[in-house]
Structure 1
Amino acid sequence: MSDGTAYIVLFRGVGGKTQLPVARLRETLTAAGFDNVATYINSGNAVLKSALSRGEVASRVAEVCARDFAFDKDVHVATRAEWRALIAANPFPEAVETPTFLHAALLADAPEPARVEALRALAAGGEDIAIVGTVAYLHTPHGFGTSKLAAKFDKGIGVANTARNWNTVLKLDELAAAADV
């Protein structure tokens, strides 16, 4: 077992015109000194292992991606332990049966309660939002793409964030477990 911590790295806003080619991203992060680098789908997800702190990992990854990919959007980082806690704290266990209708968003800071309530007021037909620490969980049982709550979430929450559906959350946990050797 090598020294260090397994981290989940989420890049905000990947897709469309903003691309981080996964093979090149893996190579670049490995060359930057990170261990056990893996990526998951072309939407800005990576896992790696490092002896650096979470903040140092975020800074170094952002620096490397700005230099090598002209990527200047937010980079969110969680330890494997934090990711496991995110999974365990899911306030919508009934939603895991349809994992594309459950999303977890890492938040840079705790949002203002009034903003959360304004978003909750948009919820329709069993939808809901819950904040646990600096994670927002969105349950959209009739589809994320048709939800007004989901459509207004990004700007409405009022803090930098990036969200992943539950399938991706679980796959990143699996990849982080493999990286943590």
Structure 2
Amino acid sequence: MTTRYAALLRGINVGGGRKVPMAELRGLLESLGLLDVRTYLQSGQAAFTAGHGDEESLAADLSGALAGRFGFDVDVIVRGHAYLRSVLDDCPFPADTLEPKQLHVVYFSAPVTEDRFAEIDRAAYLPEEFRLGDRALYLYVPDGLGRSKLAEHVSKPRLNKGVVATSRNWNTVRKLVEMTEA
């Protein structure tokens, strides 16, 4: 049986460093036996069909192949269509009434609990807010991510210790669902 997945690559093609051209990423995925490979934007999203492996093994295979090809480590999260659809459907914020730049999802490689973020005084950041979902954090930032103090705080390494975390704006969240539809 084949499954459609999306790979989320963390920290590539930003600020002029850690370059991974999308054409080379597509070729690398195809060399791993993955089919119907498509990329989105330059910031590290790819969709593909796999007849083997699971999310964790596919992420490990891709991460290893990226290190071998480009000479630097790249954290990778792989998620199937059903999960990506559930992230979209379960959004606790009124996504249809917000600008896409106001809503982001931080995807985690493993489940996280509210305890991880207990040190954050949520009231101090209002109207910015976050809520946890299944291996995801929904982040509402009315003035955009670049001006957000809350986004800066939730991305601190000590809060994300032991998990890979990578953020995508709401347009990309929607596009990942579209790209992984059968």
So what's the TM-score if we normalise by structure 1? Answer: 0.88
SS at match of 1:20: coil
Post-superposition offset of 1:119: 3.2
- Equivalent residue runs for 1:7-156 within 5 Å: 7-14=5-12, 15-16=14-15, 17-52=17-52, 53-94=54-95, 97-121=98-122, 124-155=125-156
Post-superposition offset of 1:149: 0.3
Identity of aligned residues (%): 33
Number of equivalenced pairs: 176
Unaligned runs of 5+ in 2: none
User: 2:6 touches 2:81 (CA, 8 Å); kept in 1?
Assistant: yes
Moved more, 59-68 or 83-92: 59-68
Moved more, 57-66 or 151-160: 151-160
CA distance in 2, matches of 1:70, 1:80: 30
Post-superposition offset of 1:96: 5.2
So what's the TM-score if we normalise by structure 2? Answer: 0.88
SS at match of 2:47: strand
User: 1:120 touches 1:149 (CA, 8 Å); kept in 2?
Assistant: no
Deviations for 1:10-41, whole angstroms, at most 9, x for unmatched residues?
01111221121001111121122100111111
Post-superposition offset of 1:100: 1.0
User: 2:3 touches 2:51 (CA, 8 Å); kept in 1?
Assistant: yes
Moved more, 113-122 or 26-35: 113-122
Match of 1:163 among 159, 162, 167: 167
SS at match of 2:74: coil
Unaligned runs of 5+ in 1: none
Deviations for 1:126-165, whole angstroms, at most 9, x for unmatched residues?
2100001211000001221111101122115324211100
Amino acid corresponding to residue 131 of structure 1 in structure 2: L
CA distance in 2, matches of 1:134, 1:34: 24
CA distance in 1, matches of 2:176, 2:124: 28
SS at match of 1:62: helix
- Alignment RMSD, CA only? 1.8
Post-superposition offset of 1:118: 2.8
Please state if 1:4 is matched with 2:2: yes
**Quick one: structure 1 residues 106 and 94, their matched pair in 2 at CA, closer, same or farther if it must change by over 3 Å?**
closer
Aligned position for 1:176: 180
Amino acid corresponding to residue 32 of structure 2 in structure 1: A
Post-superposition offset of 1:124: 2.8
Post-superposition offset of 1:94: 4.3
CA distance in 2, matches of 1:172, 1:130: 20
